[in-house]
Structures are given as C-alpha cells and as structure tokens.
Amino acid sequence: MTALPALATLFWGSSIVWLYSAGRMGEFLVPKFHKFALLGGLGMLVLGAFVLLTLRQKSDCGHDHCEHGHDHHDQHPLVVLLLMVLPLSAALATDTSAGYSVDVLERKGLYNTQVDNAAYALPPFTREMLEESTPQNAEGRYQLPASQIFFSAGDESMMEVFSEIEVETEGQVVIERNGNEDGRRLRLYRTLMTCCAADALVLAFPIEFEGAAPVFEERSWVRVGGTLRYEIIEDGKNPVLFVKKIEAISPPSQGGFSDW
C-alpha cells in the first residue's frame, strides 16, 4: 500500500490547521464553522499519522480463506496527488487579499442593483432607531455597513430616514459601468458570506464625486464618507453615496468577507 494517501491526508489536515492559526479561515467559511473545520483538520492529522505508522503492519483480510491474493484496485498514486493535493496547493498559493476576481464578482451580482423587497422586508425604521443603534465618527457621520446601505433601497421607511444623512462606510471599489458617461462614479461593494465562499453574495452601489473619480487599483479597500441619497432606476431605487472624503485602507482580516 502506498504512503501517498496518508501523506495527502496529513497535508490536508495541516493546511486546515494552518488556515485557522493564520486567520485565513474566514476566506472560506463564516466564523461559526471555524472550530468545526479545525476539529476536522486535527482529525485528519490523527488519521494520516495512524495510517502512516501502521502502513507496513500485516493484518487479516477478514476472510476464512486467505490463501489467495486480492486485487483491491487501489487508485494510482498520481490520481491521488491530482485529486487531493494539487487543488488545495493552488488555493493556498493564490493571493486572496482582494477577494474574488471581477468576473466572479459580476456573476455574483456586482452590477445587479435590484433589491427584492419581499425577501428582505424590514420592520418600519425610524430616526430614533438610527440614533440608538448607529455609532457616529468624529465628524458626525453615521457609520453604516455597506450591506445596510444596499438593503435600505428595499424599504421606504429606511430610505426616508437615510436620505440626505452623512454616512461613513467601508468596502472595495471597481469602475462603475452603469450610467457613468462622465466618469464621476466608482462602484463600492462588499462580499457577504452566509455559509461558505461558494454561496457568497456581492452587494454593491455607486459612489459619486464632484469631478472625475479618483484612480484606485481595482478591488482596493477604501473608507468613504459623504451624503447618502437615492436615485430612480429601471429596477426601482438605488442608493448613491455622494463622496466628500475617501481614503485607501488595509484589507480587513478574514479576507474581507462578512456573515449576516
């Protein structure tokens, strides 16, 4: 029996433990599943070590007549390598600091501005609720997550409260492709994860400048402050943040994903 399956199991287990200890587990799973993944990685280490240590030990085949050989059709070692080691190696070697590529972001809704009101119905929102639940920065701007700004376009009471208030939020930016003929807009987005990276959603809306939009590297992280307004589009209404201040920031931990 080849030792490669045991070595591959050890590689997988050590990779999971390393992702957890390095704080990169959030690139693939929401926090509530991190410890379960860690336990699974530790279990793989134990299993791989056990198989490797007992590799040369003889054991009964479990039959009453073991005077004959058995063809167990073991997988070819190269197949094990391709299926178990190379994909994980490629994932670990990939720079994920900026999150998904733009192509993947588009497939996950980067330029889709429609909000399903029925799916995200919220209780009536008031100015008092805003004051009680939302911190303000030193300049008096309400610190709202980009996801809350995005979903506010599906709730009339929230739009009424949020219209014309000064807000600050964080996210990543790309070029705005919708209604940006004068080049004054970028598109701010956040990637939200409900379970794992495969089911992540991209929530995005435009940010507008008085003049030409500044140049940022694609998918850069920024902190932006300004006046929040809403515009009527073909699919309904869309939040637009009119920028008064913007600065580049370092990517947050866990790959920049947020859970609900």
What does pTM read for this prediction?
0.73
CA distance 191 to 110: 9
What is the average pLDDT across 210-237?
93
Please report the pLDDT score of residue 119 as a whole number.
53
What is the average pLDDT across 19-36?
86
What is the average pLDDT across 15-42?
88
What is the average pLDDT across 28-47?
90
| pLDDT of 107 over the 70 cut | yes
Please report the pLDDT score of residue 80 as a whole number.
67
The residues spanned by each domain of the chain are 4-57+73-93, 102-256
Backbone angles phi, psi at 35, to 5 degrees: -70, -35
What is the average pLDDT across 22-37?
85
CA distance 236 to 118: 13
Please report the pLDDT score of residue 245 as a whole number.
97
Instruction: Give residue 248's identity as a one-letter amino acid code.
Output: A
What is the average pLDDT across 30-43?
90
Please report the pLDDT score of residue 260 as a whole number.
44
> In this predicted structure, which of 32-36, 80-84, 152-156, 211-215 has the lowest mean pLDDT?
80-84
Backbone angles phi, psi at 96, to 5 degrees: -105, 15
Please report the pLDDT score of residue 258 as a whole number.
58
Q: What would be the CATH architecture of the domain defined by 102-256?
A: Beta Barrel (2.40)
> pLDDT tens digits for 117-132?
555 555 688 999 999 9
| pLDDT of 165 over the 90 cut | yes
Give the strand pairing for 166-175 and 201-208.
unpaired
In angstroms, the first-to-last Cα distance of the chain is: 46
CA distance 99 to 105: 9
| pLDDT of 2 over the 80 cut | no
Please report the pLDDT score of residue 146 as a whole number.
94
CA distance 40 to 55: 22
SS3 133: helix
Q: Which residue has the higher pLDDT, 86 or 240?
A: 240
Please report the pLDDT score of residue 120 as a whole number.
53
Please report the pLDDT score of residue 67 as a whole number.
54
| pLDDT of 61 over the 70 cut | no
The most confident of the ranges 19-28, 199-208, 222-231 is 222-231
Please check whether residue 143 is in contact with residue 137, taking contact to mean a CB–CB distance below 8 angstroms.
yes
Question: Who's near 80: CB < 8 A, 6+ residues apart?
Answer: 2, 4, 5, 8
Instruction: Kindly report the average pLDDT of the chain as a whole number.
Output: 84
Please check whether residue 191 is in contact with residue 135, taking contact to mean a CB–CB distance below 8 angstroms.
no
The most confident of the ranges 26-30, 101-105, 175-179, 195-199 is 175-179
